[in-house]
Structure formats: C-alpha cells, structure tokens
Amino acid sequence: MKKRIFLIFLVLCLSSALWAQDIPSLDEFQVPFETFASEIANSLPMASTIGLQWSDAYIKNFPHLGFGVSAGGVLLPVEAFDALSDFLPVGDFDVSNFLPATFPSWLAGIPFPAYAVDFRLGGFKIPFDLGFKIGFIPKIWQDDVNNMLSGLDMELDYLLIGGDFRYALLKQNKKLRPNLSIGAGYNFFRGGVGKSLTDYGTSQILSVPDPDNLGSTIDYTVGIEDPSLNFGWTAHVIDAKVQLSKRILYIMTPYVGVGASYARATAGGGIEANVTGITDAEISELNAALAAAGQEPLDISDQGIIFEDGVNGWAFRAYGGLSLNIFWLKIDPSLMYNFIDQTVGFQVSVRLQF
C-alpha cells in the first residue's frame, strides 16, 4: 500500500501538466510550456541534492554506518503552473484559493518531487564518511506503474544517483563543541514523462495575423502523424557543503548547513510528431508574420515543436533541520532555501543509523 501511495504522489506531481482535457494546438502549446520548462530547469540543482542530507555532520569512523530513504521536493512558483491552467484537468488553477489568508507566500508552490535510497559508511583512520544514493523505479514496482499509466497512454522515467565525501573538522564532545564537516559530491538527475496524443487528430490549422491585411489571418495546414507530448530533464551537479550539528540528550540532533552547486541542467520537450504539409519557407513566413504581430515565433520543424531551457552555473543554498533519534531509528525532516531564485525545498529522511 505504501509504495502505491508513493507512486501515485510521484506520477501526479510529475505528470499533472500533461493530463490535458483539451489538447493544445501547436501554436497554443509553446509559450506556457517554455515557461514551465524554465522553472523546472532552475529547480534541478537543488532537487538533485535530495538524499544524503543527514542530521549528523559526521557519523564517526567505521563500523558506524546507516541506510534509509529520503523523499522531498522543490516548490515551483505558482506562476509556472498558471501558464498551464488551460491544459490542467482542474481548469483555472490558483493555489491561493486553497490556502489560508495568513499562509506564507514563500510556501505557496507546487512540489517538484525527488526521492532516493541512501547509504552512509564511516571512514577509516582519518575522520571522514562516504555516502551513496540512488532513486529509480524498481522492476517490482514496474507493473504498478504500468497499470496506473496504461489508461493514460503515458510513460515515466526517473533516475537520481549520487555520492559524497565528508571530512570532520570538529568532533562533538559532551560539552558545547559540535560536529563540523566539509563535503563534496556529485549528483546525476534524469527523468521524464511522455503521453501519446491519440485524440490529437491528423492535422492542425495554424492561424497567424496577416501583416498586409489587418484584422484577417493567414492559415497554414500541417499534417500530424503519431503525435506524443513529452517532457524530460537532465542535470549534472557538483556539490560542496559545510554542515554543523549537535546531538542533544541523545534524542534530537539539530543541524544547519550551506551548500554551493555547479550545475549543467536542461529541461524541455514538446509535441513530437511527423509533421508534413508545411515547408521550411512557409515556416519562415509564419514566424515573420508572428514577429510582425509582436508574438513569439514557433520552434516548429518536421519533428514537431521541441523546446529546451537550461541552467549552467552556480546555485547557493542554506539548509537545516532536526532529527528525532529513537535508538537506531532517525526521523529527519529539513528545509532548504535557494539564494539565487528564492525557491524553497523540503525533504524527510527515515533511516537506521548504527
């Protein structure tokens, strides 16, 4: 039951934007999904750090070790979904309608989720530890996923993998001295959602303003064969962090940290199809007419409308939390804040730590 609930959460979050009641036309599709892709790309560096964010800045040398599961997400700005409101099954989408008047505006977002199974092992001789994490859809879950998505003609891809090394600069004692560590690691994050557009039809009519005759339009008819709506993302992230923690009365461990990530991340997709009936010259004419009308040109080709947005540079975050320690069981919620785009992330880790 738990794995079914989690899969429902994951699929709903990742694919809600693709569950259209009214499938957009090619020209309606581009701008809102470009906006959505931009926000996803910006969230990828922080989302990739989910997992291995443990409360103890240093778990001591071998044989100390631990393993568990971490899940969370980055809150995408509501504006990213406003552009998609015409294509969402809930119609006009406004998160503020469902929140109390006193709800903090910085928490009013839609979670872009991630999860991983993580493992950490204490080092040898010198004070360090090593961590490894991986998140994917196991084969034993694949039938559940396929059954959930079969009626929607959808496919789902997900992989999060990473590791880190942490070196203890300070080791806590029974007085006030805390654990203090510096660390570095690498994360790879890939995923995607695809939906077959079986009801899209075999052709589309693109109407653009006629620059030579105000008030009238020019129509272009394009053939559409085997269309599908696909969205995917990939991120390579090198991460460095500094963390401070202190175990209190053996039952809780508060911690804070800062991190810097260098990321090469992209997100995008589009309506992929075999497009016929329009030449390169006509596409140029169409885009010239849109430009004359002050509208965005269409990235249309014989493969459909494909777009991509990305980030290539540094992101900086602060994070902190408090784990509850019940013998070897650690329940560890935490929050993250991205200084670059002011987004908030969250995660919860549940693990056994010996």
* pLDDT, block means (10 residues), the chain with 354 residues: 39 43 56 76 90 93 93 80 52 45 53 90 92 86 64 76 95 86 96 74 71 73 77 92 93 95 87 78 79 74 76 92 94 94 91 93
Q: Which helix (H) or strand (E) holds 192?
A: strand 179-196
Q: Which helix (H) or strand (E) holds 80?
A: helix 78-82
Residues in the chain: 354
- Which pTM value belongs to this model? 0.80
Nearest to 274 by CA among 234, 301, 308, 241: 301
Contact between residue 35 and residue 83 where contact means Cβ atoms under 8 Å apart: yes
Q: What is the pLDDT of residue 5?
A: 36
Question: Which token pair is 276?
Answer: 């016929």
Q: By residue range, what is the domain housing residue 110?
A: 2-353
Look-up of token digits 């005759």: 213
Q: What is the pLDDT of residue 201?
A: 62
Cβ burial of 87 (10 Å; 0-12, 13-18, 19+) is buried
Contact between residue 262 and residue 304 where contact means Cβ atoms under 8 Å apart: no
b/e map of 58-78 (b: 16 or more CB within 10 Å)? bbbbeebbbebbbbbbbbbbe
Question: What's the maximum distance between 2 C-alpha atoms anywhere in the chain?
Answer: 82
Q: What is the pLDDT of residue 192?
A: 83
Report the C-alpha gap between 325 and 225 in whole angstroms. 57
Q: What is the pLDDT of residue 85?
A: 54
Would you give the distance in Å from CA 197 to the centre of its chain? 23
Report the C-alpha gap between 80 and 87 in whole angstroms. 13
Phi, psi of 279 (to 5 degrees): -90, 165
Q: What is the pLDDT of residue 236?
A: 96
Domain tally, the chain: 1
